[in-house]
Amino acid sequence: MAKIPMNKIVEMDGDEMARVLWSMVKQELLEPYVELNTEYYDLAMKARDDADDQNTVAAGEAIKKYHVGVKCATITANRQRVEEFDLKKMWPSPNGTIRGILDGTVFRTPILTSRVKPYIPTWVKPITIARHAYGDVYQAVEYRIEEPGRAELVFTPANGGEPMRTTVYEFKGPGILQSMHNRDDSILSFARSCFEFALSVKRDLWFSAKDTISKQYDQNFKLLFQNVYDEEYAARFEEAGIQYFYALIDDAAARILRSEGGLVWALKNYDGDVMSDLVSTAFGSLGMMTSCLVSPDGNFEYEAAHGTITRHYRLYQQGKSTSTNPVAILFAWTGALRKRGELDGNAPLCEFADRLERATLDTIEAGIMTRDLSSICPDPDVTTVDTLPFLRAVRERLENA
Ligand code: NAP
Ligand code: MG
């Protein structure tokens, strides 16, 4: 059978067990069927150290050029890793660097099968969390107050205009004080990334904050989202048959708990931090969570949400076969291939991505799965397999489909 041709995407290789899964997935399920056309960047820890991390920067720039990238999990250096790899310095997180270059937002979405039940039984469709990753309490200024005194909020215009000054509180005794900020340009980028992502997965977008209490701060988020929607996205949403709406955070939390899922939930920094861990845990295994970085101007980077799975890699280094779940990595690839296909009108590539995802889910539905899933699957008719036999079972289904 002729291999499917495609235009270029950016491929970023990574570290440890994720790197092992990466090449297995390519060898078993991609290269036999697709004329893989990638601009390859090796972002393994040692390669980043050798290149003074300029390969990470180059990969981020390449995503801007080709608009689609797929990334393997990489080690984020810490003191222990500096010693392990004898690094020149403690390089920053590649994901942070690439997010900075693309000005992107991360969207995490679970992959669902009927074999693994979410903790919330009504959630039959995925819930994607989009977290604004700038400002608020994460860039706050805080004081511990030890004595009576007046706390004030002062803004001094750079052009020498009259300062704004408000009393926050007259302290009679010890207490605490905090001030935080956000920027319109960051909120606008976040909003555009959310609208782009919702369009790309054709799901409703919710944005939640607490504008009834925070009449300037949260209200500003709400208004900017609404403006961007009205001016730039309303027509495209209508055409795609999806909706945008704003809901108060407490109301939204209650409604989503009772919902069947199937939406994208955009949240401010702190709310997103809390809800992304809550929602991903409720859906089950890290090996089934995908992650997509979307820039406001429509560049897409696909990844598995998990890391390099160091514990499994140590076993692999001892020559042992492991039952590590390759599904999130596989879906990062199918996500990237489908997006490439959509952007280029390459229908066979999109269909291949769909068929490969179907074959993967059918394999799990048939009871063949890796240990992370079988250990939380209550059914008796389940076979636990190692990674390679799992991929081969997927391949068999793909070829027989
Ligand atoms: P991790 O790699 O996500 O693994 C944590 C644990 O989760 C594993 O030990 C394993 O549990 C389970 N797990 C994760 N993915 C799995 C899969 N596909 N199949 C089966 N089980 C899976 O997190 P970590 O061990 O904390 O981090 C390891 C390295 O990854 C660190 O150096 C960190 O910097 C890096 N990291 C990178 C990224 C990224 O590039 N996006 C993200 C997070 C972490 P059991 O041990 O119980 O089997
Ligand atoms: Mg968190």
Q: How far is the CA of 12 from the centre of ligand 1 (A)?
A: 17
300-304 vs 289-294, strand pairing mode: antiparallel
Cα distance between residue 369 and residue 324, in whole Å: 10
- Name the one residue in this structure whose structure tokens are 């920094």: 269
Cβ pair 332, 290 in contact under 8 A: yes
Element (H, E) at 19: helix 16-25
Q: Residue 334: what pLDDT?
A: 98
Cα distance between residue 232 and residue 222, in whole Å: 15
Measuring from each residue's beta carbon to the nearest atom of ligand 1, which residues come in under 6 Å? 73-76, 95, 286-287, 303, 306-311, 324-325, 328, 372
Q: Whose CA is nearest to atom 41 of ligand 1?
A: 73
Q: How far is the CA of 274 from the centre of ligand 2 (A)?
A: 6
Looking at the CA of residue 311, tell me the nearest atom of ligand 1.
Answer: 9
Q: How far is the CA of 356 from the centre of ligand 1 (A)?
A: 24
Q: How far is the CA of 275 from the centre of ligand 2 (A)?
A: 8
Cα distance between residue 197 and residue 205, in whole Å: 9
Q: Whose CA is nearest to atom 16 of ligand 1?
A: 287
Query: Which bound ligand lies closest to the C-alpha atom of 331?
Result: 1
Which of 256, 281, 273 has its CA nearest to residue 204? 256
Task: Tell me whether residue 65 is exposed, middle or buried, using C-beta atoms within 10 angstroms of its C-beta: 0 to 12, 13 to 18, 19 or more.
Answer: exposed
Cβ pair 350, 7 in contact under 8 A: no
pLDDT tens by residue, 186-230: 999 999 999 999 999 999 999 999 999 999 999 999 999 999 999
Query: Which bound ligand lies closest to the C-alpha atom of 305?
Result: 1
Joined together, the tokens standing for residue 366 give 């048939």
236 CA to centre of own chain? 23
Confidence at 99, pLDDT banded by 50, 70, 90: confident
Least confident of 61-75, 90-104, 258-272: 90-104
pLDDT tens by residue, 236-274: 999 999 999 999 999 999 999 999 999 999 999 999 988
Q: Residue 283: what pLDDT?
A: 87
Give pTM, 2 decimals: 0.90
Cβ pair 68, 300 in contact under 8 A: yes
* Mean of the per-residue pLDDT values of the chain: 95
* R_g of the chain, CA atoms, integer Å: 23
Joined together, the tokens standing for residue 91 give 């390089």
263-267 vs 127-131, strand pairing mode: parallel
User: Is 77 a residue whose pLDDT tops 80?
Assistant: yes
